[in-house]
Amino acid sequence: MSLINELDSLGEKLKESLAQAGTLPELEELRIAYMGRKGFLAGLMAKLKDLSAEERPAFGQKANEVKESLTALLDGRLRELKALHEDAGLASFDPSLPGRLPWQGSLHAVTLVTREICAIYERLGYDVVTGPEVETDFYNFEALNFPHDHPARDMQDTLFVGDKIVMRTHTSPVEVRTMLARKKPPVAIVSPGKVFRRDYDITHSPMFHQIEGLLVDENMSLCDLRGTLAYMCRSLFGQTVNVRFRPSFFPFTEPSAEVDISCIMCNGIGHIKGEPCRVCKATGWLEILGCGMTDPNVFAYSGFSRESNGFAFGLGVERVAMLKYGIGDLRLFFENDMRFLQQFA
């Protein structure tokens, strides 16, 4: 049989095979068998070099015609199979079934934790208040007892937008604004919101969220502060969490303390299956917030008597969310990766 006759026979052979192909995978196998790099057509084309110079033009023309014919046969069968598939789907369709709603989004992890913390304090009788994100030096630093040479006032830490105008570095200014507005105790507030610093790495962001708390009333003590914060920590992380206070320093509280909770990954043991815990660095403790008894100077700046009595605390929401949900990189909160966000739906 001549090569041209072999080319002609490919079309008839493909027609017979297509009649037996009832699925898309079977059709794809036929396409590869006839049109693939090692298929029947390619095999015949490889024999072109064996033909004489006079035979090659006719063979080449015929090969192109056969290729177009085979392609048309395969495309036609593909349309038939798709139509059959659609008909089968329509035959089994039940219009009475509820439709599939598109994903409508969900609350962000930071929002979820913020609401949870605020709800804890609302149960204790605290009000949730907010304040401006662009603050004056007075509210952000001076009224909170920051010395004029305090490092936090430097350009390296604070984002200045004008002379004595800053992007607030904490939500503590809301404490001063609230006391100036209410003029006398009792005051019990928590203030969630965005704050801004000149930082950016896996544990710091130039914009993040804080919740500040303030309670001013009669006979407040460190015992009240400890009980309040222990209640919050155990509400967030479970009743078995241990809480400890470590002496520290903040300009707006005296005495001041850092608060740690027992590591939620190793249960405060410091190791997991004999290996040092990477989350708490084998210490068994995790720092979670800062707090203290409100400094008399802050009361004086806020229009309260210096003999007023109260405490304040502040925590980073992202820090709590990272511990609560086991997130290792702070930047995930702000990258808008749908795979990350959908986990909190």
Q: What is the pLDDT of residues 234-251, one digit of tens each?
A: 999 999 899 999 999 999
Least trusted range by pLDDT, from 31-40, 139-148, 307-316: 31-40
pLDDT at 120 over 60: yes
CA 80 vs CA 30, 68, 106, 219, 316: distances in Å? 15, 18, 42, 85, 61
* Average pLDDT of the segment spanning 8-36: 83
Residue 191's nearest CA partner among 220, 171, 217, 218 is: 171
Q: Which pLDDT score, from 0 to 100, does residue 209 have?
A: 94
Whether 110 shows a pLDDT value over 60: the answer reads: yes
Which of the four pLDDT bands, split at 50, 70 and 90, describes residue 309?
Answer: very high
Q: Which residues pair with 289 in a beta bridge?
A: 259, 315
3-state secondary structure of 194: strand
Please report the pLDDT score of residue 280 as a whole number: 84
Query: So what's the pLDDT on residue 174?
Result: 96
Q: Does the domain made of 109-344 have the CATH classification 3.30.930.10?
A: yes
Least confident piece of the model among 7-16, 163-172, 205-214, 276-285: 7-16
- Report pLDDT for 36: 85
Which residue would you say has higher pLDDT here, 200 or 272?
Answer: 272
Q: What is the pLDDT of residue 164?
A: 87
What average pLDDT score do residues 7-29 get?
82
0.75 exceeded by pTM: no
| pLDDT, tens digit (0-9, with 9 covering 90-100), for 42-96 | 887 887 777 778 777 887 887 788 888 888 888 888 888 888 888 877 788 788 8
191, 297 Cβ separation under 8 angstroms? no
Average the pLDDT over 129-144 and give the result: 94
Structure confidence at residue 134 as a pLDDT band (50, 70, 90): very high
Q: What is the pLDDT of residue 95?
A: 83
Task: Write down the pLDDT at residue 8.
Answer: 74
Comparing C-alpha atoms, which of 232, 238, 224, 241 is closest to residue 315? 232
Whether the Cβ atoms of residue 134 and residue 161 lie closer than 8 Å to each other: yes
Confidence of residue 152 (pLDDT cuts 50, 70, 90): low
DSSP 284: S
Residue 187 has pLDDT above 90, yes or no: yes
Which stretch of 10-14, 118-122, 331-335 has the lowest confidence by average pLDDT? Answer: 10-14
Buried b (16+ CB within 10 A) or exposed e, 76-85: ebbeebeeee
Q: Residue ranges per domain, the chain?
A: 3-92, 109-344
Cis peptide before 186 (omega within 30 of 0): yes
Query: Do 312 and 212 meet the contact criterion of CB atoms below 8 Å apart?
Result: yes
pLDDT at 263 over 60: yes
Host H or E run for residue 271: strand 271-272
With bands split at pLDDT 50, 70 and 90, how would you rate the model's confidence at 170?
Answer: very high
Q: What is the pLDDT of residues 92-102, one digit of tens each?
A: 878 888 888 88
Residue 291: which of 320, 260, 253 has the closest Cα? 253
Q: How high is the pLDDT of residue 203?
A: 64
The average confidence (pLDDT) of the chain is 87
